[in-house]
Amino acid sequence: MRSRRRRGSAPAEEHVDERWMASYMDMVTVLMCMFIVLFAMSTVDQTKFDKLRNSLATGFGTVVSQKVDTATGTVVPPEYAKSDAQGFSSMDLALKEVDRLNALRDEMKSKLDAAGLGANVQFQINERGLTVKLVGSQTFFEPDRPELTARASQVLGTISPALASVGLEIMVEGHAANGVTSYPSTWELSSARSVNVLRYFVDRGGIPAGHIGAVAFGSARQVNDDSTEALMELNRRVDVVVLSDKPEVVRALIPEALKARAGQ
């Protein structure tokens, strides 16, 4: 016989699938965490934010910034700022570079003059940097020979400390006059002389090998026409070039900055 439900008993309980509640609770938890993070991000240190904003604006040249504390703020390096940004003009940087190169020149010149060695050393500042010209092969080298004379070693030993302390890249450039040489060409002679100067700087002058190089120009870059023995002597030279590490836009302004400093 079919079973009959008792009169007055509770209806049977139905179990519906409730797994969706787990996903719903996870979603609510994630939303809560997201809003907590957003709230935390909305609380900004206004002072630090202003420093960052002004620094970036100055670097990209969009606005003229106020004074920024470079010790704590985030500051774009001056060389990457546009030339019209206040305090970061290329001319200002060129003037500072000229002052640095002049100071280096004066330091070497005073030491050479004090030792009585300044007669055959000339200095030139241009967009490349500071050039120390070792002029006169009879002073620094024997005729048609690449070995350094005793006087040449004295000159190099006098200027080495200043060159080592400045920390800039150095290029030693050998030059020669047109004429008869026992070498296959003036290229080999000028190359041997520039390498010997380089070796002195590295072996005895304290200049790191990674900061210096040597090249030879033979007689291709003469300063005169070799018409007399005195003029030929000026072409027999080694140039020690202290290369400026400033951006090209700043180095191009060094000649103009030199004129400005000379007119003061």
pLDDT confidence tier of residue 134, bands split at 50, 70 and 90: confident
The residue ranges of DSSP E strands in 112-206, in sequence order, are: 121-126, 129-135, 170-174
Residue 241's region, left for phi above 0, alpha for psi from -120 to 50, else beta, is beta
Distance CA 5, CA 2 (A): 10
Share of the chain above pLDDT 70, in %: 72
Q: For residue 3, is it within any domain?
A: no
Within this chain, do residues 95 and 26 fall inside the same structural domain, yes or no?
A: no
Within this chain, do residues 185 and 212 fall inside the same structural domain, yes or no?
A: yes
- Please check whether residue 124 is in contact with residue 131, taking contact to mean a CB–CB distance below 8 angstroms: yes
Q: For 129-143, 164-178, 186-200, which range has the lowest pLDDT when averaged over its residues?
A: 129-143
pTM over 0.95, yes/no: no
80, 100, 121 — which closes off a domain?
A: 80
Within this chain, do residues 162 and 237 fall inside the same structural domain, yes or no?
A: yes
Within this chain, do residues 104 and 232 fall inside the same structural domain, yes or no?
A: yes
Higher pLDDT, 194 or 84: 194
Within this chain, do residues 123 and 232 fall inside the same structural domain, yes or no?
A: yes
pLDDT confidence tier of residue 71, bands split at 50, 70 and 90: very low
Within this chain, do residues 132 and 218 fall inside the same structural domain, yes or no?
A: yes
Within this chain, do residues 97 and 210 fall inside the same structural domain, yes or no?
A: yes
The residue ranges of DSSP E strands in 97-151, in sequence order, are: 121-126, 129-135
pLDDT digits (tens, 9 = 90+) for 103-115: 999 999 999 999 9
Higher pLDDT, 74 or 170: 170
Q: Give the residue numbers spanning the domain of 75.
A: 21-80
pLDDT score of 52 more than 50? yes
Q: What is the mean pLDDT of the segment spanning 111-124? A: 91
Within this chain, do residues 105 and 204 fall inside the same structural domain, yes or no?
A: yes
Within this chain, do residues 74 and 132 fall inside the same structural domain, yes or no?
A: no
